[in-house]
Amino acid sequence: PPTAPAHTIGYWKNWSSCSGGKQDALLDQALKAAGGIRIGDLLVNNCQDAADILSKSDLNGAKRATDAAYRLAAQLLGARLNFQAGAVRCAEVVAAADSGQSLLDGIGFTGLNSYKSVINTDAADMLAETLDEYNNGNLCK
């Protein structure tokens, strides 16, 4: 069974080829090993797209932190990167990740534009909170 610790969305942004730091490109390695990670209708398969989503920005770099779809997408991508890296998981986080993917897929999330008018903000924020707990190592112990 997976035994590695989960990491935050900030960790994944920093440990990448596009962070400008000198850390190993763990984000890039996880994306490559997975063949990309689907977030809604978006296949995240490169460092810059991943960094934008993890930053709660759209793929053009516009900040979207006030949009629940981007808050959910960031935490979902972090969780899926953790899964790919062999992090411990439990039924609660797997269910939240699956529900988050379904919600984003249902609104046609592509990482462009605003989704404020079509997303169920309460549901998205509840799922994002669960995924954030997981990404911070406070779930699935």
Domain ranges of the chain: 9-136
Q: Are 36 and 102 in contact (CB under 8 A)?
A: no
Written as one letter, the residue type at 138 is N
Choice among 3-7, 52-56, 64-68, 71-75 with the minimum mean pLDDT: 3-7
Label residue 61 by pLDDT band (50, 70, 90).
very high
pLDDT per residue over 94-109, tens digit each?
999 999 999 999 999 9
**CB count in 10 Å sphere of residue 102:** 11
Can you read off the two tokens belonging to residue 14?
């920093």
Q: What is the pLDDT averaged over residues 37-60?
A: 98
Does the pLDDT of residue 37 top 90, yes or no? yes
pLDDT of residue 3: 82
**CB count in 10 Å sphere of residue 100:** 26
pLDDT per residue over 115-135, tens digit each?
999 999 999 999 999 999 999
Does the pLDDT of residue 1 top 80, yes or no? no
pLDDT of residue 141: 81
Q: How far is CA 29 from CA 17, 86, 109, in A?
A: 10, 13, 24
pLDDT of residue 22: 84
DSSP state of 87: B
- Strands 37-39 and 42-44 come out as antiparallel
pLDDT of residue 21: 84
**CB count in 10 Å sphere of residue 22:** 5
**CB count in 10 Å sphere of residue 75:** 29
The span from the CA of 136 to the CA of 132, in Å, is 6
Can you read off the two tokens belonging to residue 19?
């962070």
Q: What is the pLDDT averaged over residues 24-34?
A: 97
Full-model pTM: 0.97
Q: What is the pLDDT averaged over residues 18-41?
A: 95
Can you read off the two tokens belonging to residue 20?
């400008």
Q: Are 29 and 16 in contact (CB under 8 A)?
A: no
